[in-house]
Amino acid sequence: MKRIILITGGQRSGKSQKAEELALSLSDNPVYLATAHIWDDEFRERVRRHQERRGPQWTNIEEELYLSRHNLAGRVVVIDCVTLWLTNFVQIENGKLKMENCLTAAQKEFDAFTQPDATYIFVTNEIGLGGVSENALQRKFTDLQGWMNQYIAAKADEVILMVSGIALKVKSERMKSEKFATALR
């Protein structure tokens, strides 16, 4: 049975750790699908610490763009993170971000990747919770991120918001069932 879980929140809110704990509660050998492009030594060290923390029971896969290349049917998969994955779709022409192409491509890839029955735990950032950037490109990316988060949340069975290390359930199967039952009355 397919299950999609979205874990969202601000930077350093505990999203990745929550996703890993959840994955380990569901599987003895989960998959960690890392989407980041490693662009400097500081980030490379951050990735190394994350891998070390996870331990040998994890299958680690690095994929910057085409998640659907990996058939993970029947597995529990943490995808960390949507924000970094989405940056890999960014297309800039003449200094302008072409958001509609990025969003369409990311949505199409998301749909292809999540087609097989598996448990998908997506980690993402709520970058729009902060102030409005002075940089036009950053504002456009914030919009793109928000739209993709909404897309995934709409398809998710469960959405968890992390705030200062505390998990808040925003959406669950039970909530969907109660809403449906109320609508039938």
Cα 78 → chain centroid: 8
Given 3, 50, 70, 155, which residue is catalytic? 50
Domain boundaries, the chain: 3-184
Return the CATH fold of 3-184: Rossmann fold (3.40.50)
Six token digits for residue 20: 């890993």
Beta strands in 10-95 (DSSP E): 31-34, 59-62, 76-80, 92-93
**Tokens 């049975």 sit on residue:** 1
- Can you give the pLDDT of all 185 residues of the chain as single tens digits? 899 999 999 888 899 999 999 999 999 999 999 998 888 899 889 888 888 888 889 999 999 999 999 999 999 999 999 999 998 888 655 656 666 688 999 999 999 999 999 999 999 999 877 777 788 778 888 989 999 999 999 999 999 999 999 999 999 876 655 554 444 44
Q: Is the pTM of this model over 0.75?
A: yes
Which is nearest to 19 in space by CA: 28, 32, 10, 1? 32
Six token digits for residue 84: 């970094």
Q: What is the pLDDT of residues 66-93, one digit of tens each?
A: 999 999 999 999 999 999 999 888 865 5
Which run of H or E residues covers position 9? strand 3-9
Distance CA 81, CA 152 (A): 12
- Any idea what DSSP says for residue 133? P
Residue type, 158: E
For the question of residue 50 being annotated catalytic, the response is yes
